[in-house]
Structure 1
Amino acid sequence: GWATGWLSNPRTALLACAFIGFPFASGMEVLIYYAGLAGIPQSVNEAAALEGCTGLRKFFYIDVPMVMSQLKLILILTVIGGVQAYEGLFILTKGGPGFATTVPALWMYYNAFSFQRMGYACAIGVALFAIIFGITVINLRYFKSTEELEGIK
């Protein structure tokens, strides 16, 4: 029939769970992005219109560089949330079918509280911290906003 067992199929379970808190579409991220767009001076939009820069060209060459610091924050928060998130997967699938939805944070939880391997769980936590820290450093170093490129900040 037409019914699909999204959570019972190992190929689609993780993808189905990823849409629970779809990155860049939840309330907080939208508000951060909107605040960045609202902070773009009207004179910049007027100058872009005078130069004939509209639509997608304006979005990619004017809006995105002007809100790059907000996008950096959203990216950092999304990576941290994605690496740490396990409660939704635990509630929906408990890591299954098989191990299809067992993410590192859920594996850390199982090792700590189900298998009583606290040292191994701690090592997983330290590895997750190192991964998040590395991605954050790369993000802060290589994604520059317009203000940072011009030396304003």
Structure 2
Amino acid sequence: MATTAGTPVAAPPAEAPPGGPRRRARISWAAYLALLPLLVVLALFQYYPALNGIVRSFWDWNPGQVSTFVGLDNYAKMMDDAIWWRSFRNLGYIFVFGVVSWVIPLVAAELLITLRSQRAQFVYRTLLIVPMAFPGVVTALVWSFMYHPNNGVINRALTAIGLESWTQNWVGDPSYALWSLLFIGFPFIAGLPFLIFYSTLQNIPREIFEAAALDGVGRIRRFWTIDLPLMARQVRLLFFLAVIGTLQYGFMAYIVTSGGPDNSTMVPVLRMINVAFQGQDWGYAATLSTTLFVFTLVLSAVVVFVRRSDPASTNVRGLR
């Protein structure tokens, strides 16, 4: 504020900088318009099919023909579907086995991070993740050939070392089919868990490891007291992603076993496909699809809730 002859005079208002509120408003509207085509495509190819499936679950749906409204009859039928509920039991085995198998990529990441040579880390890391580039269908077909009861590599190897009594019809026997399916991809290093574990360990400051070594902290103790606590959020994220991914599991089972033998490898996605394309019961298939969608949606909401209630993420948001 300036003064003239002892009388205060207000300073002239500062000019608004270029790119003020009006310009920002124009940019915001432009962004909304740019997003509009994407929202239209999502509504047409994602939201509409999902909502249509929910509506069709209350009908005896016959595409191209007359459909009859049946209310909750399809859902009552689902409650008595033994194969459908057995498929969820199989999913439980798949989920537990998948979580336990994280031990191998975790050990690999721990061993890799101990290498002092950055070049050696790069070479080994590349060799470990190259299998991720292989198409899933190729992996499924290769393992199918390995499991072949007569000419498969596994049975031939067992016979060659004198363990012929151990040979099995690995994917043709209900007692072994599910376990054989679970072991596809062994040793499970080339995947998302390894990348997350390794990147987390790589971002831990070296000074922490050096200080722990100076304090006489051994390798195993360092894992339990330093490495694992720092990976807690990543492990929790992997856990929930595994839950959601397991609910959508079906590709490998479809290629290798088609849900057999005797439904021993049946999973919800395969049951839904079989009801739709083999049984031609489209309304009931929509019911199964809707139920699976609700399960996935609820678990996704749990993921969001847990991440928002995470104290660490709350502190980060408070610093912004």
Same fold by TM-score greater than 0.5: yes
Query: Please, which of 130, 141, 144 is the counterpart of residue 306 of structure 2?
Result: 141
What whole-Å deviation, never above 9, does each CA across 1:6-57 have from its counterpart, x for those lacking one?
1112121111101224696333321122111101112222232233322222
Q: 1:48 aligns with which of 199, 212, 217?
A: 212
Structure 2 residue 254 is matched with structure 1 residue 86: no
The residue that corresponds to 1:17 in the other structure is 181
Contact 2:244 2:299 in 1 (8 A): no
1:117 is the counterpart of 2:295: no
- Kindly provide the amino acid, as one letter, of the partner of residue 96 in structure 1: G
Residues 92-141 of structure 1, C-alpha deviations (whole Å, 9 max, x = no match): 11111111011111111112222222332233233323333444516962
Unaligned runs of 5+ in 2: 1-164
Cα distance in structure 1, aligned partners of 2:280 and 2:233: 42
C-alpha distance in 2, partners of 1:65/1:37?
A: 11
Asked whether the 8 Å contact 1:72–1:140 carries over to 2, the reply is no
CA 1:131/1:21 → structure 2, altered by over 3 Å: closer, same or farther? farther
Return 33-42 or 133-142, whichever deviates more: 133-142
Partner of 2:262: 98
Contact 2:181 2:253 in 1 (8 A): yes
State the partner residue of 1:57. 221
2:191 to 27, 34, 59: 27
Q: Deviations over 1:32-84 (max 9, x none)?
A: 22111101112222232233322222112211111222223322333333221
- Please give the TM-score of this superposition, normalised by the length of structure 1: 0.79
Paired residue type of 1:66: L
Percent identity reads 36
Distance of aligned partners of 1:112 and 1:23 in 2 relative to their CA distance in 1, 3 Å threshold: farther
Task: Work out which of the two has the higher radius of gyration on C-alpha atoms and give 1 or 2.
Answer: 2
Give the length in aligned residue pairs: 151
What is the Cα-based RMSD across aligned positions, in Å?
2.9
Name the CA shift for 1:140/1:58 in 2 (closer, same or farther; >3 Å).
farther
CA distance in 2, matches of 1:66, 1:150: 16
Conserved 8 A contact 1:89-1:101: yes
